[in-house]
Chain A
Amino acid sequence: MSGKFAKFSPFHVDPELIEGTFSLQPEDFDRADEDEKAAMEQKRKSVSYWRDAWRRFRSNTVSMVALGVFIACLLFAFAGPALIPYDYADQYRSSQKLGPFEYSEGEAVARSIAGSVDGFYATALQPGSLTSLAKGDYVIYHGGKTYAFTLDRAMENAILMLQTKAEDPLFIVSESKIQQDGSWSDSKAISYTDTPADGAVEIKLSRNVFPHAFGTDSFGRDLMARTMYGTRVSIIIGIMAALIVLIIGATYGAISGLSGGAVDFVMMRIVELIYSIPEVLVVLLLQVVLKDPLRAWFDSSNSALVQSLSALGAGIISIFITFALLYWVTMARIVRGQVLQLKQQEYVTAATALGAGNGRIIRRHLLPNCVGSVVITTCLQIPSAIFLESFLSFLGLGVSAPMASLGSLCSDALETITLYPYRLLLPSIVLTIVILSLNLIGDGLRDSLDPRLKK
């Protein structure tokens, strides 16, 4: 720049000033020493996209509360069943149609007598009559008397009453024969010991009876266990359906957006067509169409995959298929829009100019930039899937008994709404809380992953 004529130029610029700004000296190409290297080091770790998003999400009180509530729902659905002694499918015959925190006659007797006993073995005097006592029995010891009773199906309504001393006989008393004061009539004697003998059955001990917090249904099934199980089914359906939508929709949208031209045109016309089909009608038809072939398929095949699918049941699988067929269109549109917008960005042009292939551009530039809106759409898809599933189950087309989902529980409850309103109320509240918390989490994700959209 500062050639030899510069000295004579009336616009002479002092070379001292120029130096270091845009003239390069040979020493500029020396290796940097340690001090210079240290000066270039970043003082603070750069904040990654996700860390930044998480920071924004954390500062959003509503979303954090919603996240907490949703985690509580997850615990209720997945850890809950392990904590309560009832199973969603078991019918406890002596405790039908109980209200919340109500106890059956036998359970009430047991509760009225607080206390404990260490455990003992009983042998039936009438062979066979007591062997079924091993499961789900309760024995309560109090004031020189031990009360044992069973909730087992084979021994329905039977209540055992024991004397304190080991030599005394053990009695089986029908539940209805128990008097208010704890005395009984019409009993059959059996013997028991505190050491195991041949053919003896160990009787499980329980100090108190676990309450039916949500009551029981007309078949004597514990509604809290069923609600927990139903919540689990609903959440699994929601997440699986969202994943299916994510995979199909994102792939379809990305292909359509990247290809452009005629391919894009045809693919988008297909999307528009699926949009204009009233989905619920097709869903209803599909449900009916798919049910029998799926059952046949489950019965015919022995592979592990099919077996695990059949554990879910035909109703749920057809919901998944429905999602795979119809519900990916929104996701496809969003991803296509993003890809169309992103592929015209300068950095993509720059990458192409530098010789990057399509694969690299997709992986390095397009996917990371789409991920925000994809995550948001996926998250908001979960509650809408739960909505749809509950709607189908409500119409009697989703999961089939004894399986339960929140929708089918509400549907079952509706028949007896005038007598047992809580049966509808409790699963409804859980369903609403799950959907509400997921919606709020989705809103929070939108604000934190894509701040441009924030209103």
Chain B
Amino acid sequence: MAVYVIKRIVVSIMTLLLIMCITFLLMNAIPGSPFLTEKSTPEMIERANAKYGLDKPLYVQLFNYVKNYARGDLGTSLKMQEGTSVSTILFGQGKFELSIKLGVISLLLAVIVGIPLGCIAAYNRGKWIDGFLRVMTTVGVAVPTFVLAGLLLIGFAVNLHWLPTKSNSLPDFKSYVMPVISLSFYYTCYVAKLTRTSMLDAINQDYIRTARAKGVKTRMLILKHALRNSLIPVITYLGPVMAGIITGSFVVESTFSIPGLGKYFVQSVLNRDYPVIMATTVILSALVIFMNLVVDIAYKIVDPRITLTGKED
């Protein structure tokens, strides 16, 4: 186990380095200089390039990034807030925490609501509640995040005035409701669908019949015997969910005017603020890679039959 985790961490760091290389190459593939504006003279661009080390050869620049990142230094912004350190831009005023808070709450909601819904549907297979949940989840996975966010906004904020149109920095419970629902609804539905399918699979297995024959109560049967075995596909799905929730939060943040991380990524790309692009990409990639690692370890806990050291496929 420990060997496996260490191996995975090494691979993760290598993946992260590779992502840095790709991001760096892509950034530099944009023609022209980030300092190019209508007013700028060639001398001004040259001076700015020299100031931020953009005149050095590309491999030196890349090496500097890696070296500074290893020391925890994310560099300074070139354009958005010139001269400010990137970590202030991203982590200052709790922006990072906002995004993470939103993401984690949505992820938890998707799991806490999605799995029971799937169980209920599977247990009541063919009854009206199964039909209802089926329609709900099928429609749910067809509604893009921004559509749902917009619909909620129209319904609950514009027409009914129950909830605020702008969530800002999520000061109270009310401001959480719409962003969290719109961010997690798709994943809740997907998790419910997955749970239902794998639960039905599990319910038809021999050991469930045996347990039932031995007189295990239905509730225990579902919770202990069937659920545990049907969780594997759900856990597999949670890795991509993390990636999806992070990128989905860009949309939710812009819809509900939440000053989170997402806005800065899009802005930094549009502004060609290299250090900010690099920092957001690396942070978000690291999160996703970390989640994948957690998912792989969670496998082992849920299903002891899975050997982590064995070859995949």
Contacts and interface: CB of A to CB of B under 8 A. Distances in A.
B31 A383 contact: no
B142 interface: yes
Contact of A289 (B26, B143, B151): B26
A394 B22 contact: no
Interface in B20-66: 22-23, 26-27, 29-32
B90 to A, nearest CB: 14
B269 A284 contact: yes
A299 interface: no
B192 interface: no
B306 interface: no
Given A277-B19, A278-B247, A455 B154 contact: no
B20 to A, nearest CB: 11
A278 B243 contact: yes
Contacts of B288: 276, 278
Contact of B138 (A273, A410, A436): A436
B113 interface: no
A424 B270 contact: no
B9 interface: no
Given A424-B154, A435-B144, 16 more contacts: A276-B292, A288-B30, A289-B29, A292-B30, A292-B31, A383-B142, A391-B144, A421-B159, A424-B150, A425-B154, A428-B151, A431-B144, A432-B144, A435-B142, A436-B138, A439-B138
B139 A285 contact: no
B246 A278 contact: yes
Contact of A395 (B22, B142, B197, B250): B250
A261 to B, nearest CB: 14
B146 A394 contact: yes
Contacts of A413: 150
B302 interface: no
26 contacts: A273-B18, A276-B288, A276-B289, A276-B292, A277-B22, A278-B246, A281-B265, A281-B285, A284-B269, A285-B277, A286-B26, A288-B270, A391-B146, A410-B146, A410-B147, A410-B150, A414-B150, A418-B158, A421-B158, A424-B147, A424-B150, A425-B150, A432-B142, A439-B141, A455-B200, A455-B201
A390 interface: yes
Given A276-B292, A417-B158, A431-B147, A285 B142 contact: no
Interface string A260-289: 000000001000010011111110111011
B81 interface: no
Interface string A281-314: 1101110110011000000000000000000000
A417 B153 CA distance: 8
A296 B26 CA distance: 18
B160 to A, nearest CB: 12
Interface residues of A, number: 42
A395 B270 CA distance: 11
A394 to B, nearest CB: 5
Interface of A: 268, 273, 276-282, 284-286, 288-289, 292-293, 383, 387, 390-391, 394-397, 407, 410-411, 413-414, 417-418, 421, 424-425, 428, 431-432, 435-436, 439-440, 455
Contacts of A435: 142-144
Chain B CB within 10 A, most for which of A273, A281, A390, A417:
A281
B223 interface: no
Contacts of A414: 146, 150, 255
A432 B139 contact: yes
A418 B247 contact: no
B110 interface: no
B292 to A, nearest CB: 7
Contacts of A418: 158, 165
A273 B289 CA distance: 11
A343 B277 CA distance: 45
A313 B138 CA distance: 33
Contact of B142 (A280, A425, A439): A439
Contacts of A431: 144, 147
Nearest to B248: A391
A413 to B, nearest CB: 7
A428 B154 CA distance: 12
Nearest to A394: B146
B148 to A, nearest CB: 9
Contacts of A273: 15, 18
Contacts of A411: 146
A281 B284 contact: yes
B48 to A, nearest CB: 20
Contacts of B251: 391, 394-395
Interface in B69-97: none
Contact of B26 (A282, A387, A440, A455): A282
Contacts of B27: 285, 289
Contact of B143 (A292, A421, A432): A432
Nearest to B288: A278
Nearest to A292: B31
A431 B266 CA distance: 24
Contacts of B200: 455
Interface in B101-121: none
Contacts of B285: 277-278, 281
Chain A CB within 10 A, most for which of B32, B247, B280:
B247
A292 B145 CA distance: 29
A286 to B, nearest CB: 7
Interface string B270-282: 1010000100110
A275 to B, nearest CB: 9
Contacts of B18: 273
Question: 6 tightest A-B contacts by CB?
Answer: A436-B142, A280-B247, A428-B147, A421-B154, A435-B142, A424-B150
A423 to B, nearest CB: 10
Given A273-B15, A276-B292, A394-B251, A285 B23 contact: yes
Contacts of B250: 395
A279 B281 CA distance: 11
Nearest to B15: A276
Contact of A417 (B15, B150, B266): B150
Nearest to B143: A432
Contacts of A410: 146-147, 150
A397 B265 CA distance: 13
Contacts of B153: 417
A389 B185 CA distance: 20
Contacts of A424: 147, 150-151, 154
Contacts of B32: 292
A390 B144 contact: yes
Contacts of B292: 276
A425 B18 CA distance: 42
A395 B150 CA distance: 14
